Amino acid sequence: MAEEQVEAEDIMPDWSAFRGVLIVVEQRDGIAKQVSWQLLGEGKKLANKLETKLMALVIGHEVEHLAQEAISYGADEVYLCDAAELKTYRTRPYSRVCLKMIHEFKPEIVLFGATATGRDLAGAIATHLPTGLTADTTQLDVEEHPSRLLLASRPAFSEKMMATILCKQYRPQMATARAGVFQALPRDTTRQAPIKRIDNEMREEEIATRVMDFIRETGTINLEEVEVIVAGGRGLGGAEPFKMLQELADALGGVVGASRAAVDAGWIGHDHQVGQTGQTVRPRLYFAIGISGAVQHTVGMSSSDVIVAINKDENAPIFQFAHYGIVGDLFKIVPAITEAVKSKRGLFASVGGQAHE
């Protein structure tokens, strides 16, 4: 990003040929990434404010059902490019399709998930066009007609600050946006909208890159897409008590998270860490157990829908963020909550204490 604002060049060119908000849908093996539907939800707000249409671009092989899904999640127009060469993501053929669509249908805003694939693709396309691209946004807004500017905001300086970035002299305006920040619309399968097909122009012989294998990681978790997180911190005192958290997580259909103190101590893997140097999460329910509530932790979880804090120190800062606070010893309270959940849900403890449906 450029550091200063250019005031003198604020005369806007005529962008009336560019209309609509485009979401580039990401998928693997015909299953869409949640962030794509989340972006459709956010894109709808932007499109409404601009009084324009919400577009989706679906690329892949045998992904027609995703075009339909995109409509269910709010798209007013879907562009579909379905070809064997596009089965797995590769930069060149995918960017060729995106560029063709953008040149032909001229959206004014294009959004991608800030995933490995989304960033890879967006970086290539922005340079080709060329246009401005804002990375890793967490807040999106637009100015109404006539400026129609995208106000793309993102954390900066290790999340200590937020910056709003504009692209005044180029169209489309592009951004990648973080998973788990925006909200998808409820899925409405009765919605109908046109699906336009786009041809794939790259033949296999022209593509140098081959994807040889994909090793799915089952051990690691993407906390950004989880609905319930039961997180523990230094207050747990060791690796063993994380099992107690796992039991509560199991009973609620969630996963275990952690503060950096717990990760640094080696009690749990880094892929469980929430916060500035971990993941930014927004589950429906977040338990902070034995976590003091340092700002580096809370930046990563404070937008959760419901936060429950358990800490023996009644002055712990985490209580400022909690919808429900319990002062007391976590070793007594957590098992009691797990039991209460199980009896409420009619789950019965098996020998290992694991919950079964």
Partner 1 sequence: MLHLVVCIKQVPDSREIRIDPKNNTLIRQGVPSIVNFYDLHGLEEALRIKDEQGARVTVVTMGPPPAEKSLKECISLGADEAVLVTDRGFAGADTLATSYVVASTISKIAETWGPVDMVFCGKQTLDGDTGQVGPGVACRLDLEQLTYVTKVVKVDEEQRRVTVHRHLEDGIEVVETSMPLLITALKELNKVRRASLPGMIRAARYKPTVWTTADFPDLDKAQIGLKGSPTIVAKTWVPEIRSINGERIEGENEQSTAEQLIAKLWEGELPTRMGWTG
Ligand X SMILES: Cc1cc2nc3c(=O)[nH]c(=O)nc-3n(C[C@H](O)[C@H](O)[C@H](O)COP(=O)(O)OP(=O)(O)OC[C@H]3O[C@@H](n4cnc5c(N)ncnc54)[C@H](O)[C@@H]3O)c2cc1C
The answer to the question of residue 304 lying near ligand X (CB under 6 A) is no
The answer to the question of residue 248 lying near ligand X (CB under 6 A) is no
Residue 111 is inside which H or E element, if any?
A: strand 109-113
Least Å distance, CB 53 to partner 1, is 24
Contact partner at residue 259 from partner 1, ligand X, none, CB < 5 to 8 Å by partner kind: ligand X
Q: 277 is written with which tokens?
A: 């140097």
Please name which of 150, 123, 130, 188 lies closest in space to residue 46, comparing C-alpha atoms. 150
Closer residue to partner 1 (CB): 123 or 237: 123
The answer to the question of residue 345 lying near partner 1 (CB under 8 A) is yes
Contact partner at residue 16 from ligand X, partner 1, none, CB < 5 to 8 Å by partner kind: none
Among 276, 280, 304, 338, binds ligand X (CB under 6 A): 276
The answer to the question of residue 292 lying near ligand X (CB under 6 A) is yes
The answer to the question of residue 14 lying near partner 1 (CB under 8 A) is no
Q: What span, in angstroms and rounded, lies between the C-alpha atoms of 272 and 232?
A: 10
How wide is the angle at C-alpha 256 spanned by C-alphas 250 and 260, nearest 5°? 170
Looking at residues 121 to 180 of the shown chain, list those that interact with partner 1 (rule: CB under 8 A). Answer: 122-124, 126-128, 130-136, 151, 155-158, 160-170
Looking at residues 210 to 239 of the shown chain, list those that interact with ligand X (rule: CB under 6 A). Answer: 233-235
**Maximum C-alpha span of the chain:** 72
Contact partner at residue 336 from partner 1, ligand X, none, CB < 5 to 8 Å by partner kind: partner 1
The answer to the question of residue 3 lying near partner 1 (CB under 8 A) is yes
The answer to the question of residue 118 lying near ligand X (CB under 6 A) is no
Q: 66 is written with which tokens?
A: 């995703």
Among 68, 259, 304, 338, binds ligand X (CB under 6 A): 259
The answer to the question of residue 262 lying near partner 1 (CB under 8 A) is no
Least Å distance, CB 298 to ligand X, is 8
The answer to the question of residue 275 lying near ligand X (CB under 6 A) is yes
Least Å distance, CB 269 to ligand X, is 13
SS3 of 270, please? helix
Q: What span, in angstroms and rounded, lies between the C-alpha atoms of 290 and 206?
A: 56
Closer residue to partner 1 (CB): 195 or 285: 285
Give the total of residues touching partner 1 (CB under 8 A): 91
Q: What span, in angstroms and rounded, lies between the C-alpha atoms of 117 and 124?
A: 11
Looking at residues 299 to 318 of the shown chain, list those that interact with partner 1 (rule: CB under 8 A). Answer: 299, 302, 305-308
CB atoms within 10 A of CB 119: 16
Whole-Å CA distances, 135 to 36, 89, 153, 163 = 16, 20, 9, 11
The 8-class DSSP code of residue 51 comes to T
Peptide bond into 172 cis (omega under 30): yes
- Count Cα neighbours of 311 within 13 Å in the Cβ-side half-sphere: 25
The answer to the question of residue 116 lying near partner 1 (CB under 8 A) is yes
* Contact between 4 and 92 (Cβ < 8 Å): no
For 313, phi and psi rounded to 5 degrees? -95, 110
Least Å distance, CB 306 to ligand X, is 19
Q: Which residue has the tokens 């358990």?
A: 310
Looking at residues 16 to 75 of the shown chain, list those that interact with partner 1 (rule: CB under 8 A). Answer: 28
Least Å distance, CB 309 to ligand X, is 9
Closer residue to partner 1 (CB): 100 or 168: 168
The answer to the question of residue 117 lying near partner 1 (CB under 8 A) is yes
Q: What span, in angstroms and rounded, lies between the C-alpha atoms of 262 and 333?
A: 19
Closer residue to ligand X (CB): 71 or 258: 258
Looking at residues 326 to 345 of the shown chain, list those that interact with ligand X (rule: CB under 6 A). Answer: 329-331
Give every CB contact of residue 30 below 8 A, 6+ residues apart in sequence. Answer: 60, 62, 63, 65, 66
